[in-house]
Amino acid sequence: MEPEEEPGGAAVREVYEEAGVKGKLGRLLGIFENLQLGFSPDLEKNPLSVAKLK
């Protein structure tokens, strides 16, 4: 995130910068922190959807 940037705006910007995809925000799915290298959320226990494709 950039200084003074809201999390939602940062998410939309990062998706566009990294993948070239324009999107819009939906509901908050969750917040994950990377506290150590190699950490990733356990998606089998906590599945989430990050996009709906048309």
Active-site residues, by number, are: 17
What six digits make up the tokens of 33? 């922190």
What six digits make up the tokens of 42? 């356990």
Q: Which residue has the tokens 């998706």?
A: 15
What six digits make up the tokens of 50? 């990050």
What six digits make up the tokens of 35? 């506290």
